Structure 1
Amino acid sequence: MGPPKKFRKYDSKAGSDRSGKKKKVEEDVTIDLVEDDNGENAGVPGAAMQDAEKNDQVPEDEFGAKDYRSQMELKPDNTSRPLWVAPNGHIFLESFSPVYKHAHDFLIAIAEPVSRPQHIHEYKLTAYSLYAAVSVGLQTNDIVEYLQRLSKCAVPAGIIEFIQLCTLSYGKVKLVLKHNRYLVESKHVEVLQKLLKDPVIQQCRLRRDGDEELLASALPNKPTTALASKPGEEKPANGAVPEDISQFYQQLDKDDEEDETTDITAKNSAVAFEVDPDKIEVIQKRCIELEYPLLAEYDFRNDTINPDINIDLKPTAVLRPYQEKSLRKMFGNGRARSGVIVLPCGAGKSLVGVTAVCTVRKRALVLCNSGVSVEQWKQQFKCWSTADDSMICRFTSEAKDKPMGAGILITTYSMITHGQRRSWEAEQTMKWLQAQEWGVVVLDEVHTIPAKMFRRVLTIVHSHAKLGLTATLLREDDKIADLNFLIGPKLYEANWLELQAHGYIARVQCAEVWCPMMPEFYREYLVQKINKRMLLYVMNPSKFRACQFLVRYHERRGDKTIVFSDNVFALRHYAVKMNKPYIYGPTSQNERIQILQNFKFNPKVNTIFVSKVADTSFDLPEANVLIQISSHGGSRRQEAQRLGRILRAKKGALAEEYNAFFYTLVSQDTLEMAYSRKRQRFLVNQGYSYKVITELKGMDQEPDMFYGTREEQGMLLQQVLAASETDCEEEREGVAGSAGGAARRAGGSLASLAGADDALYLEHRRSYNKHPLFKKFRY
């Protein structure tokens, strides 16, 4: 991710001028940034328009890097200080500093991580990251003072001004649900009076008979049982730590403990006004535009309207330190804050979600993105909590349990947003679901929520608190910032390499295998259209042979291997040719479960082929090898999600040795190489490195390898050229678990019909002329 770009002041009259088509080169440059190119600024705080580097006019050195030596004078004891704060809002942290533990936890709360390799970490201050800092209890003065203490040089005045601008108004207004009434609450009377002068908010306000201008919002000072540090939890080392940093850090810890044991609003200290539940979304948008974003909190301990559910964690459920820390961010003040927790794949996001449900102890809704994930979440609840089958209800296309009496409902995004006709049973379940007040909604793979269809879930389901879980808080369409409004701020984000070093996730060797294009394939690649080109470099015989060799090599080692392909034509061809099971969109739920169970427990099934339906929520802890033969363009998120399929900690493996292997097979001199570079950016920023392999030793001596002769390669080329346009396309989203799909048109040509390119005769694809009487009988 490059340096932050200049934000432009929004002008509603000029919005249409910026809504034109983007150039292709611009997409490549701005892919990581939240831009304003489409003129849609609804729900964006004014502070987000401010530019942290407005005065960042500095000379460059001979290498083109910014030279701050003349502007940033080092402190005398700079060697004991761990970070630099640059005038452009970027912060650079020394991971080898004795104060690293202090600084890392602080920076995670106030800034967005940009790049975290082994020795130097880069963070970036943004309006939304500072909003998140205030939402977890940090004050403006604390942020500025601690940055001053940690920095090797004085914090630039422009950065201090930016922090004050972004934080002074945040956290002053809260949205609380009490006794089934939505209240906009604040300790600052003047703030609420200012909001009530806005005509949009006036329309959202709900008045009842006898209500005063502002309601008193009294809360008892009731001690909470929020998660606290265990005695054996690692504490920061004090050796070589400056005394001012150590004292200030202890003061912050003390403040956090006070927040955890005392409610944040003293009795009779807050005032509020009631709003219409149907206009919650409108008032949230408007308050953000007025730079008073509503902090969504749920006072679940004092909720006497919604019944408690009988659920607790089992004694065997032991939280890891980073899981406890993430949950303390959510429940630190005795209420449930809505927000997003980011943990690597395989790091125990499910246990975090189960613990959150057990803490709130109200009706819970869990939203997943596939039927397989629904089954896995049910098993996670039964594994870690006291919930049994009678408490858990599944609502999918193939499993519709009766919801009456259930306290936990697990379903998919597509089931909730389905707009077509439903069965009578599904319709009754939907009516029951919409009539409930859910205590907490757990949104698995929350990065899918900004999609136009899935974000409708939040208007259909009424909930008190929302917890988003994901490993990759990024999207290629720049809509990830919408989560700040749709769900809430980012509460916590873990460091991948730190978890790997402590053995919480597997130690992975990433490799990029270069496969030369065969001359005949490359000749056709240069003249074909884009879709056919993609199929040609995926079906490259060299890539097939490399995949076959790696599968055999790791099977001999006793490894469990997953092979990914976005292209279904290639997926079926590879799997059938190697005689391996495969899973893709139309595969039924029962068949998927049967294949996955065999992969987990059958020693004879060590390799499976899967399409993009397995990118997320497929829990396969036994897998330790992943081979990628086809992918979705330059998607960084997909690369990280696929790596997550093998990130589960391996039993009996040494932390110092590689115990998982991630191969990406790339056809040389094709567009696939450019895509591969883009895909790797997120993982490289997390500290991973890719090893380039140009030759697989031993492949030439491997017996019975396919496509070793020119004749076999020529026959494969003919099959690829004969493939229809539909075969050339990647699998589309939304077909998971369905046996059929919408009607589609098959591509072809007259030459194909005549057999000039050895294609199959395609006349059977055309509909026959039938008598009108028989058109009703379709099979």
Structure 2
Amino acid sequence: MEFNLNNPLIAQSDRTILLEATHPLFEEARNAISPFTELIKSPEYIHTYRITPLSLWNAAAAGLNAEQICAILQQYAKYGAPEALLSAIRDYTARYGLLRIEQRGDKLFLTCKDRLLLTEVLQYRDLRSFFGEERTEHQVEVMPFARGVIKQELIRLGYPTQDIAGYVEGTRLPIALKAELRDYQEQAVESYYVGGSVFGGNGVLVLPCGAGKTVIGIAAMAKIGMETLVLTTNVTSVRQWIREILDKTDLSEEQVGEYSSDYKQVKPITVTTYQMLTHRASKDKGFAHMELFNERNWGFIVYDEVHTLPAPIFRLAADIQAKRRLGLTATLVREDGREEDVFTLVGPKRFDMPWKELEQQGWLATASCAEIRIRLPFALREKYVYAESRRKNRIAAENPLKETVVKQLLERHADEQVLIIGQYVDQLEQLGEATGAPVITGKTPHTERERLYQQFRERRFSCLIVSKVANFAVDLPDASVAIQVSGAFGSRQEEAQRLGRVLRPKQGNNRSYFYTIVSKGTKEEDWAQKRQLFLIEQGYNYEIDEPTMD
């Protein structure tokens, strides 16, 4: 093992990586290890990463092999990489594709060159009902209904299965793309499409908010040229997708439909919401709109913001593995820990574009991030100490001193378009009264939301207050300042989405600002540190400001 004490990281046999944040090679090393690691924590001087089976399998699916991963660690490690770690990397990486699902005639087979491994798999009692009678020492028939669920079960056993069984052909729909793609957008589409072979046609593309994920999804539609079902997060997003499809392709309004509470249009391209598909009148009733999956011969399904995929959609996704499918997201982090289900049912990560790289190329605004820590007033501090856990969160989040900070920030950015973002409606409405800014929450009708969004775009007012309904797919290109007053506990995905609201390129200096106001010495401060992990992993630095409050 070679030592080089001038290197920036320490690789450990427990699969953790310690990286010096102040080292001259920090950024270079971080970019090199990010495709196969996950950031765990990021205090000022040492960032801790973890290598997991899933991080290695995603890297393998994207074309990175074990020897390349080991070489990267050896290149940047002070003390080399322990043999136990290198052995684990080789073992887990080799598992990707060891088991495959393939089409033979009109049947599906689980194949494996290692007959002992296949024999072991056949011994698992929970898997037996998924297999048919036809088998050899290197393959076993898979029941058609089990294509998705068997992949879920096998990855839990530590064997990610490569599905190259191909797809059923949906109804053809020629689509001409009118938009000119940026280089990275073309690369993302090709990484997914893989020349139309069975090695493509499923997977997830990870790009920051403002990088044009919708355009990429539309370009994939044009490549595939089949009737398509698009699932997204809310009605605002549905209508944005429809506008973009009509603007950037030769499709007509007669070919693109909205399936929502307002309209039930089922057309060659249909856009709906996860909430619509999972709606039911009561807990003992079925999902009223799930039949949409069978309304037409869809050849392609797009899961927008795939990290928010609800559990019932996962169950349905297991049944439609013969459809081409694409996931779009700014972060694969899921708060419920179901990243493995995204990997197996939608597909592995095919493309991941670093946020800072797009910033350096001018496709995103340069963002300055700051955490402003303020004290909790004495009367609330006493209430906070004796409150139960969940109540503590709300007391800290609704600290009344945040209003003073918000007003100061509005004065500092008086000439810019500002979003104030929060979790609690009462807090947002109070800020609306204090600042005179319009407020959008879940109670705001969609027509009213659209009107306020449009007026904000037209600069009829400079400040808009929004709840979590604006976390996803709200196109406000001129917003350059976001002030976060409260959030959903330690949600890293929400932090990424909220910063994304102000990252679109700006005229002039192309800068944006993201402020998070937290109550010092409370659980909110701990949650804030967890929320920031994803953005720090992307290369953003948070300045800490502790102003004196009278």
TM-score > 0.5, shorter chain as reference: yes
Question: 2:148–2:317: 8 Å Cα contact kept in structure 1?
Answer: no
1:636-661 Cα offsets, whole Å, 9 max, x none, are: 3322221111111223335xxxx111
1:438-476 Cα offsets, whole Å, 9 max, x none, are: 333221222222x54443342565652332222232234
Change in Cα spacing, 1:174 to 1:409, as seen in structure 2 (3 Å) is farther
Q: Give the deviation of 1:553 after TM superposition.
A: 4.1
Equivalent AA in structure 2 for residue 585 of structure 1: G
Q: 1:664 aligns with which of 511, 516, 522?
A: 516
Question: 2:146–2:319: 8 Å Cα contact kept in structure 1?
Answer: no
CA distance in 1, matches of 2:13, 2:73: 13
- 2:213 equivalent to 1:349: yes
State the partner residue of 1:480.
339
Change in Cα spacing, 1:326 to 1:118, as seen in structure 2 (3 Å) is farther
Equivalent AA in structure 2 for residue 511 of structure 1: A
CA distance in 2, matches of 1:668, 1:149: 40
Report the more deviating stretch, 385-394 or 122-131. Answer: 122-131
Change in Cα spacing, 1:176 to 1:394, as seen in structure 2 (3 Å) is farther
Q: 2:430 aligns with which of 549, 573, 581?
A: 573
Equivalent AA in structure 1 for residue 533 of structure 2: R
Higher relative contact order (Cα pairs below 8 Å, separated by 6+ residues): 2
- 2:244 equivalent to 1:380: yes
Q: Give the deviation of 1:171 after TM superposition.
A: 1.0
Equivalent AA in structure 2 for residue 592 of structure 1: R
Q: Give the deviation of 1:311 after TM superposition.
A: 1.0
Q: Give the deviation of 1:124 after TM superposition.
A: 3.9
Q: Give the deviation of 1:478 after TM superposition.
A: 3.4
State the partner residue of 2:143.
276
Equivalent AA in structure 2 for residue 375 of structure 1: R
State the partner residue of 1:489.
348
Alignment of 1:640-679 (within 5 A): 640-654=496-510, 659-679=511-531
Q: Give the deviation of 1:74 after TM superposition.
A: 3.0
Q: Give the deviation of 1:683 after TM superposition.
A: 2.4
Change in Cα spacing, 1:130 to 1:172, as seen in structure 2 (3 Å) is same
Equivalent AA in structure 2 for residue 491 of structure 1: R
CA distance in 2, matches of 1:521, 1:291: 49
- 2:186 equivalent to 1:319: no
Q: Give the deviation of 1:328 after TM superposition.
A: 3.8
Change in Cα spacing, 1:537 to 1:306, as seen in structure 2 (3 Å) is closer
Question: 2:100–2:164: 8 Å Cα contact kept in structure 1?
Answer: yes
Q: TM-score, normalised by structure 1?
A: 0.61
Change in Cα spacing, 1:384 to 1:96, as seen in structure 2 (3 Å) is farther
Question: 1:109–1:491: 8 Å Cα contact kept in structure 2?
Answer: no
State the partner residue of 1:735.
none
Equivalent AA in structure 2 for residue 281 of structure 1: G
Question: 2:149–2:318: 8 Å Cα contact kept in structure 1?
Answer: no
Change in Cα spacing, 1:138 to 1:495, as seen in structure 2 (3 Å) is closer
Q: 1:184 aligns with which of 89, 109, 122?
A: 109
CA distance in 2, matches of 1:467, 1:418: 23
Q: How many residues align?
A: 542
Equivalent AA in structure 1 for residue 222 of structure 2: C
Alignment of 1:226-237 (within 5 A): none
Alignment of 1:606-685 (within 5 A): 606-654=462-510, 659-685=511-537
Q: Give the deviation of 1:140 after TM superposition.
A: 5.0
| Structure 1 or 2: more strand by fraction | 2
Q: Secondary structure at the match of 1:609?
A: strand
Alignment of 1:193-272 (within 5 A): 194=119, 197-198=122-123, 203-206=129-132
Q: Secondary structure at the match of 1:409?
A: strand
Q: Give the deviation of 1:606 after TM superposition.
A: 1.6
Unmatched 5+ stretches in structure 2: none
Equivalent AA in structure 1 for residue 98 of structure 2: K
- 2:333 equivalent to 1:469: no
1:202-228 Cα offsets, whole Å, 9 max, x none, are: 532457xxxx757xxxxxxxxxxxxxx
1:307-349 Cα offsets, whole Å, 9 max, x none, are: 32111322x322233x344334323363325222222222222
Change in Cα spacing, 1:195 to 1:120, as seen in structure 2 (3 Å) is same
Question: 2:457–2:478: 8 Å Cα contact kept in structure 1?
Answer: yes
Q: Give the deviation of 1:600 after TM superposition.
A: 0.9
- 2:298 equivalent to 1:438: yes
Change in Cα spacing, 1:190 to 1:663, as seen in structure 2 (3 Å) is same
Alignment of 1:491-530 (within 5 A): 491-519=350-378, 521-522=380-381, 525=384
Q: Secondary structure at the match of 1:203?
A: helix
Q: Secondary structure at the match of 2:301?
A: strand
- 2:193 equivalent to 1:331: yes
Change in Cα spacing, 1:183 to 1:581, as seen in structure 2 (3 Å) is same
Q: 1:371 aligns with which of 210, 224, 235?
A: 235
Q: Give the deviation of 1:509 after TM superposition.
A: 1.6
State the partner residue of 2:447.
590
Structure number with larger C-alpha Rg = 1
Q: 2:269 aligns with which of 408, 412, 422?
A: 408
Q: Give the deviation of 1:574 after TM superposition.
A: 1.7
1:397-436 Cα offsets, whole Å, 9 max, x none, are: 12322x1xx33221111211223289xxx96x75353254
Q: Give the deviation of 1:366 after TM superposition.
A: 1.6
Q: 1:131 aligns with which of 45, 57, 60?
A: 57
Equivalent AA in structure 1 for residue 513 of structure 2: F
Q: 2:307 aligns with which of 447, 451, 455?
A: 447
Change in Cα spacing, 1:188 to 1:671, as seen in structure 2 (3 Å) is closer
Q: 2:97 aligns with which of 163, 168, 171?
A: 171
Q: Secondary structure at the match of 1:624?
A: strand
CA distance in 2, matches of 1:607, 1:186: 58
Change in Cα spacing, 1:519 to 1:135, as seen in structure 2 (3 Å) is closer
State the partner residue of 2:2.
73
Q: 2:545 aligns with which of 693, 699, 720?
A: 693
Question: 1:503–1:649: 8 Å Cα contact kept in structure 2?
Answer: yes
CA distance in 1, matches of 2:10, 2:382: 53
CA distance in 2, matches of 1:511, 1:82: 26
Q: Give the deviation of 1:537 after TM superposition.
A: 4.6
Report the more deviating stretch, 82-91 or 613-622. Answer: 82-91
Question: 1:510–1:691: 8 Å Cα contact kept in structure 2?
Answer: yes
Change in Cα spacing, 1:313 to 1:115, as seen in structure 2 (3 Å) is farther
Q: Give the deviation of 1:673 after TM superposition.
A: 3.2
Change in Cα spacing, 1:159 to 1:332, as seen in structure 2 (3 Å) is farther
Q: Give the deviation of 1:197 after TM superposition.
A: 4.5
CA distance in 1, matches of 2:438, 2:166: 49
Change in Cα spacing, 1:117 to 1:410, as seen in structure 2 (3 Å) is farther
Q: TM-score, normalised by structure 2?
A: 0.83
Q: Give the deviation of 1:517 after TM superposition.
A: 4.1
Alignment of 1:389-400 (within 5 A): 389-400=253-264
Q: CA RMSD in A?
A: 4.0
Q: What percent identity do the matched residue pairs reach?
A: 31
Question: 1:82–1:99: 8 Å Cα contact kept in structure 2?
Answer: no
Q: Secondary structure at the match of 1:168?
A: helix
Q: Give the deviation of 1:515 after TM superposition.
A: 3.7
State the partner residue of 1:307.
171
Equivalent AA in structure 1 for residue 182 of structure 2: L
